[in-house]
Chains A and B, each alone.
Chain A
Amino acid sequence: MKDTRRTRMVLGVLLIAALALITIDYRGGDDSPLRGLRGVGSAVFGPVERASASVVRPIGNTFDSITGAPGERRRADRLERENQQLRDQLRAAHLDQDHSAQLQRLLGSAGLGGYKIAAAKVISAGQGFEDTVTIDVGSSSGVRPDMTVMSAEGLVGRVTRVGPTTATVLLATDVTSSVGSRLEDSKEIGIVEGRGRRGLGDGGKTPMRFQLLNANAAMRIGQRLVTLGSQGERPYVPGVPIGTIERIDAPAGGLTRTAYVRPFVKFTSLDVVAVVVAPPKTDPRDSVLPPKPSPSPAPSTSPSTSPSDKPKDKPSGKPSTGG
């Protein structure tokens, strides 16, 4: 009944297959021959994920209803079911309201920066060590790899892979992500790198690290960061808010200075996001940042001393705010 030899043979074959897959995919890097396999994966599982996401939308509430439902149903079957239906409707309505509010704010920030966006919902998240999510728009909505993904609050990440109806987003907190960024109200630039959203350092409050390229430039706690914008606006468009500097490492005589950033976006509960399908016509500079919190850095907005003030005439010629 046990047939060990056969089992071992199958084991050997499958292990070799797995090792071969790893080797091929690793060697191939970005254009590995196994990309097609991933394409199959997103074509097959994408629709299933979409469907399941629409079923389990309010995750916490779903758990409640799963745990609470079975016992009662026997007694007052019809009543219970009706009640459940009504409650679901109410919940859905509430959720839709919530979504529409989020969408509204998203449109607000996109309009501020002049980004043309495709709105999307997060339907699944990555496993293991990777900070990736799937969103429910794909190539059929005009999404291409290396597009910026933002939410109403700020930068979320960039699109890495696109399926027909889904796309994979590499979050800005992922360890392999690095974003060119600029300090608010100045021209000082640096790189924001992810540290993993999984609660590394400071209980996950600062899942990003900012390296200021000019070691002598001024940088202070509470200063905010926006994206610098990549060559050809890909993968990152300029002007998307990233986060606030929370902690600065003591200068250690290195070539760069390091600070830890608290992102504007709550990466643990992403829901409505937007893919920037067309970059703004002009760099929005700091205009997408939310209004300054009044207490500490209040005076720095008004005076026109900083040399970077010139481009701050923000939406003056506000470019087409496509939807």
Chain B
Amino acid sequence: MLNAPEGSQTGRTIMAAVVIVAALILQVSVANRLPLPGGVTPDLVLLTVVALALVNGSLTGLVAGFAAGLAADIIPPADHTIGRYALVYCLIGYICGMASDDMDRQSLVPFFAVAAGALVGTVLYAVTGMMLGDPRASWTIVARMVPLQVLYDVIASPFVVWAILRVTRRFERGERPSRDRFSVPAARYRSGSGSRPGVHL
């Protein structure tokens, strides 16, 4: 169902699903319980969606975003209107997937894409809350939390992106070493990120 034209759907779907579930579990049972200053935590699921979209393109990005968002809406401690994260992550996955096509070998682009994705995602989520009249998303709270959250997201993003690139790479190497897998944007992205100074692949 994911990325049908490329011919390696099932494997990729399973990989994406595993990555998303792992990110969700890490998010709720570890990240959200870290006593970080300001009480805000990085949104690992958002970062995962952004990274998956950057690697695999917009179709995978948006489907993965929708699935991850829906899961984030119903995973136990969630207590907001169902569909909010699904909407936001779906859009973010699509937008970042579009960005992946324009991304050539410039090594800084992924960083900006992730930061922009984090910013847009956090703001969009807050905006949906405001539109629904959610008292938790009142202006005073949003104005205070969103900048901090974006900062944390940006700080956490290299690690998440690195981990996902690594998983994707290992998966592709292990699964089909002979096939020509390097014609997709992922290959360009990977070659770009491999030479990135701060990240050791």
Tell whether A pairs with B: yes
Which residue numbers of A lie inside 8 Å of B, CB to CB? 1-3, 6-7, 10-11, 14-15, 17-26, 32, 34, 37-38, 40-42, 45-46, 48-49, 52-53, 56, 59, 62, 122-130, 132-134, 160-161, 163, 166, 168-170, 174-176, 196-200, 204, 268-269
Give which listed residue, A21, A48, A122, A198, contacts B40 with CB less than 8 A: A198
Q: List chain B positions with a Cβ less than 8 A from chain A.
A: 5-6, 21, 24-30, 32-35, 37-41, 43, 45, 57-59, 62-63, 66, 69-87, 90-91, 94, 97, 101, 125-126, 128-129, 132, 134-138, 140-142, 144-145, 183-184
> Can you list 17 A-B contacts (CB < 8 A)?
A2-B101, A14-B66, A15-B91, A18-B86, A22-B84, A22-B87, A23-B83, A41-B78, A45-B75, A53-B29, A124-B28, A127-B72, A132-B79, A134-B28, A168-B76, A196-B136, A198-B38
Are the CB atoms of B82 and A22 closer together than 8 Å?
A: yes
Name the B residues within 8 Å of A197 (CB-CB).
39
User: Which residues of chain A are within 8 angstroms of B76 by Cβ–Cβ distance?
Assistant: 41-42, 45-46, 49, 124, 134, 161, 163, 166, 168
Is B74 a contact of A38 with CB atoms below 8 Å? yes
CA distance A53 to B45 in the complex (A): 18
Residue on B nearest A6 in the bound complex, by CB: B59
Q: How far is the CB of A120 from chain B (nearest CB, A)?
A: 13
* Also in contact, A168 and B79, with CB within 8 A (given A18-B86, A199-B39): yes
Q: How far is the CB of B60 from chain A (nearest CB, A)?
A: 10
Complex contact B62–A11 (CB within 8 A): yes
For B132, the chain A residues whose CB sits under 8 A away are 22, 26
Q: Which residues of B contact A122 (CB under 8 A)?
A: 33
Q: A176–B90 Cα gap in the complex (Å)?
A: 27
Residues in A whose Cβ lies below 8 Å from that of B77:
124-127, 130, 132-134, 168-169
Contacts of B141 in A (CB 8 A): 129, 175, 196, 198, 200
Question: Which residues of the other chain, A, contact B85 by a CB distance below 8 angstroms?
Answer: 128
Tell me the bound Cα distance from A40 to B74 in angstroms.
8
Bound complex: CA of A140 vs CA of B158, how far in Å?
42
Residue of B nearest to A38 (CB): B74
B122 — nearest CB in chain A belongs to which residue? A128
Given contacts A124-B77, A130-B136, A198-B40, 17 further A-B contacts (CB under 8 A): A2-B101, A6-B59, A7-B58, A21-B83, A32-B82, A37-B74, A38-B78, A49-B28, A127-B41, A130-B80, A168-B79, A196-B39, A196-B136, A196-B141, A198-B145, A199-B39, A200-B144
Which B residues are CB-close (under 8 A) to A196?
A: 39, 136, 141
Instruction: State the CA gap A17–B63 with chains docked (Å).
Output: 12
Question: A18–B83 contact, CB under 8 A?
Answer: yes
Contact B27 A127 (CB under 8 A): yes
**Cβ of B38 to closest chain A Cβ, rounded Å:** 5
Contact check: which of A26, A123, A176, A269 meets B136 at CB < 8 Å?
Answer: A176
Q: For the complex, give the distance between the alpha carbons of A163 and B132 in Å.
A: 26
CB–CB B79/A170 < 8 A: yes
Query: In the complex the two chains form, is A18's CB within 8 Å of B75's CB?
Result: no
**Measured between alpha carbons, how far is A138 from B33 in the docked complex, in Å?**
21
Contact of B25 among A40, A49, A129, A170 (CB under 8 A): A49
The 4 closest A-B pairs by CB, nearest first: A41-B74, A21-B83, A198-B39, A18-B87
